[in-house]
Amino acid sequence: MAVGNVAIPKTIYPIKGIKLSATAAGVRYKDRDDLVVIEIADSATTAVVTTKNTFCAAPVRVLREHFAKASPRYLITNTGNANAGTGADGKRRALDICAALAAKTGVDTSAVLPFSTGVIGEPLNSDAIIAGLDNALANLAADNWLAAANGIRTTDTIPKLASEKVDVDASSYHITGMSKGSGMIRPNMATMLGYVATDANIAADLLQEMLSNINEQSFNRITVDGDTSTNDCCVLIATGTANSEVIDSPEHPHYQPIFEALTAVFLRLAQLIVRDGEGATKFMTVNVTGGKTTQECCDVAYAVAHSPLVKTAFFASDANWGRILAAVGYAGIDDLDTEQVDVYLDEVMICQNGGVAPSYTEAAGKEVMSRPEITIHIDLARGDAHDTVYTCDLSYDYVKINADYRS
């Protein structure tokens, strides 16, 4: 079960210039939507970031090539098969799918971007996907965000959606997005996918800059198991349908409100992935302050967030806080003065100046560790930098889900 507030937004704003559909193509799952198509208006600008895993999937390679040639008009996603570790055959199949969709819609093949998620190393059933295209195209609609969010799920237990409306002067802008991911999660982009659209009119270069910056503080600040997927991709689309106001620089008066609303949507989608981490029972925020640089804060936060010993202690509600100190110690800060380090679990100080806090009691630590949402605050006391990573615990069910993944 997912942890905490994972509710679907009460209002999911359609984005003018975006249509979506979800259909059951039978790629892997029976009687379940596993093929999602997104149609993008030709007025739109699009930005993309992709995995840094060098063994990236065939659709990622094709996507990069197509994005360099043309403005995207269609995004096509299949679940159940990652089409990764499939060599030249996998790329051919991804290209065949793009060509088939392009032929049916009258666009250039390069205007189609493919996405896949699921099992690695198995041939993709491209014939089933191509056979499902007519149904997918017939069901395109602006209000299909929830259906599409369900259609991109693999081991996800919930659809992941976020939607915001922002009013600036006399203009109203809408932002809606969806993501998927539950395991093999440690995005480094820039198995998760994210699609966000707004009706704002944002210049292409600025949109790419915005995506890179927002992605860095959202999808690139989460981890479930420390594994960077072969298929991670994130797309930001600006359809330009809200009004004729072109936002072409950070100095534009509409830029900051839209940037903040986009950030809120991305962060919500990223946190939903952690809340739905495979087998998760705890949602953990690792907040590191007092670093010399942002990078060393991230290094410390990820060392704690990735530690199997830390994660299993949180699953057991065991206040074995020495595991946190051990992770801080191997994070790679060679000149760290450990006698200056303080650590808190929520409001409870567990470590002061590198040792047990005089006010700490085992009962207080146990009470905090029993909470479903916990913040680990680590103060390095060596500078003004800070950063935050979001993670979850490691439970019996994580092992079971991944041991049974292909069965």
What contacts 86, CB < 8 A, 6 or more positions away? Answer: 57, 58, 93, 121, 122, 123, 124
Q: Of all helices (H) and strands (E), which one includes residue 257?
A: helix 255-275
- Secondary structure of the chain: what % helix, strand, coil (to 5)? 35, 25, 40
The Cα–Cα gap between 379 and 297 comes to: 9
The Cα–Cα gap between 45 and 17 comes to: 11
> Strands (DSSP E) along 298-395, which ranges?
342-345, 348-352, 355-356, 373-379, 385-392
- Which residues are bridge partners to 162 per DSSP? 177
**Greatest CA separation for the chain:** 71
Catalytic residues: 191
> What tokens does 390 get?
């979001």
Burial class (CB in 10 A: 0-12, 13-18, 19+), 85: middle
Vertex 316: Cα angle to 313 and 321 (nearest 5): 30
